[in-house]
Structure formats: structure tokens, C-alpha cells
Amino acid sequence: MKKNSSATPTKGELEILQALWHLGPSTVRTVHEHLGRSTGYTTILKLLQIMNEKGLVDRQEAERAHVYTARVSEKRATGDFLKELVARVFGGSPARLVLQALGSGTETPSREELAEIRRLIRTLEEKQK
């Protein structure tokens, strides 16, 4: 029995979902090759079976090689993952996440990214008026 697709994917499951979002409906072999064979074929197969049970992917069984399709959108899955990250690592504070990301000094945002951040802040400020 499939559970609903509200489960937050694990790190490995998220990597597989990213492959499916990029490739579209794919076989285990296609996903395995896309991931660069850093993970074993049988591991990918088992993860896809678990993800099917969790409702994160659908499995088409019409052919000998089963074809898997992401059941959750990239926006929803990454949003859920980000919410969990903010809650677990940053004490529920999105501001702490942003300050850490922008102030870490490892990578400076581009002018375009800074402009997009400013637009987002203005939009959020307008909503609070």
C-alpha cells in the first residue's frame, strides 16, 4: 500500500528525484548512469522501490524494465527539505539561514542574485504593510 507523497526525501532519495526531474521518466539503469555510478545499481533499485512505497515516485510496469517517474514536484520537495533544514539546523529561523549563506564568505552572490534577493525582500515588506 502506497503512503501519501508527503514524506520528506532522504539525501539519497533527493539525488534520485533530482535525476528524475532532469531526465523525466527513466529506468533504474538510466538513473544509475546519470548519477555517475557512484552508487551501486542495486542500491538505486532498492531506493526507487522504497520511494515508490512512500509515494515519492510512480512505477510503470508495462515493460520488462520498470520506468520510474517523480511523483512530487521539485518545488515541493525542495521546499519541504528546506523547511526541515531551517527547523533542524537554524532553530526555525529563515533569517539565520540567509545570514549564514550570505555571510559565510565561501561564495559571493552575483549581482543578479543580489538584485533578486532585494526584490524578494521588497515583496515581503510590502506584504507586511
Residue 5 in this model has a pLDDT that exceeds 70: no
| Mean pLDDT, range 5-31, rounded to an integer | 89
Q: What gap in Å lies between CA 103 and CA 84, rounded to an integer?
A: 21
Amino acid at 67: V
pLDDT digits (tens, 9 = 90+) for 71-109: 999 998 888 888 888 999 999 998 888 888 887 767 788
Q: How many residues can be counted in the chain? A: 129
Residue 112 in this model has a pLDDT that exceeds 60: yes
Which pTM was predicted? Answer: 0.70
| Mean pLDDT, range 11-24, rounded to an integer | 94
Highest mean pLDDT among 33-37, 55-59, 62-66: 55-59
The reported pLDDT for the residue numbered 2 is 55
| Mean pLDDT, range 27-46, rounded to an integer | 91
Where in the chain do CATH 1.10.10.10 domains reside?
Answer: 11-74
Would you identify the CATH topology of the domain 11-74? Answer: Arc Repressor Mutant, subunit A (1.10.10)
The reported pLDDT for the residue numbered 7 is 72
- Provide the 3-class DSSP secondary structure of residue 26: strand
Phi/psi class of residue 63: alpha, beta or left (left: φ > 0; alpha: ψ in -120 to 50)? beta
Phi/psi class of residue 55: alpha, beta or left (left: φ > 0; alpha: ψ in -120 to 50)? left
Residue 1 confidence class, pLDDT cut points 50, 70, 90: very low
Quote the DSSP letter at residue 35. Answer: T
Residue 65 in this model has a pLDDT that exceeds 90: no
In 3D, which of 57, 61, 37, 38 has the Cα closest to residue 47?
57
Contact 70, 20 (CB under 8 A): yes
Phi (first) and psi of residue 49, to 5 degrees:
-65, -45
